[in-house]
Amino acid sequence: MGIKEMDVLKTSIKIVEWLQDRVHESGTEGYVVGVSGGIDSALTSTLCALTGHKVIVVGLPIHQPATHIHRSEAHMEWLENNFSNVQQKTFDLTYLYEAFRDLDMDTSDLALVNTRSRLRMVALYSLANTHNLLVAGTGNKVEDYGIGFFTKYGDGGVDVSPIADLLKSEVRELAQHLGVIDEIITATPTDGLWEDDRSDEEQIGASYEELEWALEYYDTNGPHFEPLDQRQSEVLEIYIGRHLSSRHKLEAPPVCLLDGE
């Protein structure tokens, strides 16, 4: 898997042109992108910058580790130094999150994690509405299509998804090609939503390399599987379980139709 070296440039050009078309079709002026310090948001924001349209990149920390904030700030500074159409902003949403957390709602840890993501979505859309911009999503193919590893109406609440057809390995290839800083490319993938800063692999139970294999295997074989070793069976079970349980995130809410089905 992965993009052939000769096709990396073509792929980045295709995505940039696609992003340009979405701006023209919508009558907006460009994009707003939340920048976390991770590789997905770094690639997305760079591709948006390459459109030549107005781009606001935003850091939205909520109890973030210093390493995340440093990577986010370094990437936004790199973008602003290399693209005249890019403007960076940072809004610390910690106090808003704490106000919500302190409500007497008996809120679970998972609900609080999703609240972080939804607060960021509200901030991004506030900027988008104010500046006539589209919100660009930062989810890759494994996250968005494969296992639904995103928050419904949080980081899943976007206007466009430019890298949602790229595997994590392909995201890394494009990011390297476009000059994203090494500190981001080599960072351990994490959603940055948990207090203990657990990695994506720790949350999911499988690495992105394993999940890419499972996505391709499942798409090729469907429910009919050949004999697999123990670890492959475990990974496939993780993938299928998350894929099926996340379908509600990928579909429009069901509508009760009064005339017909």
CATH number, position 58: 3.40.50.620
DSSP annotation of 54 reads: E
**Average of per-residue pLDDT values in the chain:** 92
Q: Coil, strand or helix: which one is 89? A: strand
Range of the domain at 24: 5-200
Asked whether residue 62 carries a pLDDT value surpassing 60, the answer given is yes
Look at residue 244 and tell me if it is in a domain. no
- Kindly tell me the sign of the dihedral angle through the C-alpha atoms of 11, 43, 203, 121: negative
CA distance 195 to 232: 31
Tokens of 104: 């007497």
* pLDDT (average), residues 239-252: 91
Which pLDDT does position 167 carry in this prediction? 95
pLDDT tens, residue by residue, 140-171:
999 988 999 999 999 999 999 999 999 999 99
Statement: residue 51 has pLDDT above 90: yes
Helix runs in the chain, H state only: 5-26, 39-49, 66-82, 94-101, 109-131, 141, 168-178, 182-185, 200-204, 208-221, 230-245, 247-250
Q: Is the dihedral of CA 36, 40, 42, 44 positive or negative?
A: negative
Query: Would 179 be classed as within a structural domain?
Result: yes
Check residue 192 and give its pLDDT.
81
Give me the pLDDT at residue 259, please: 82
* Of 221 and 97, more confident: 97
Q: Average pLDDT, stretch 161-190?
A: 95
Q: Are 68 and 59 in contact (CB under 8 A)?
A: no
Beta carbons within 10 angstroms of residue 63's beta carbon? 15
Is residue 248 in a domain? no
* SS3 assignment, position 139: coil
> pLDDT class for 1, splitting at 50, 70, 90?
very low
Query: What separation, in Å, do the N-terminal and C-terminal C-alpha atoms of the chain show?
Result: 41
- Per the structure, the count of domains in the chain is 1
The confidence score (pLDDT) of residue 225 equals 62
Domain assignment of residue 36, yes or no: yes
C-alpha dist (Å) from residue 234 to 207, 231, 243: 12, 5, 14
**Is 212 within a domain?**
no
At 195 the pLDDT is: 79
Helix 168-178, helix 208-221: angle, nearest 10? 120
Tell me, yes or no, whether 185 lies in a domain: yes
Helix-helix angle 109-131:94-101, to 10 degrees = 140
Q: Is residue 224 part of a domain?
A: no
Separation between Cα atoms, residue 62 and residue 213, nearest integer Å: 33
Q: In what order do the strands lie in the sheet with 30-34?
A: 86-90, 54-59, 30-34, 134-135
* Residue 174: inside a domain: yes
Is a pLDDT exceeding 80 seen at residue 105? yes
Exposure b/e, 110-122, CB count within 10 A at least 16 = b:
eebbbbbbbbbbe
Highest mean pLDDT among 2-11, 121-130, 189-198, 225-234: 121-130
- Distance, CA of 216 to CA of 261 (rounded, Å): 34
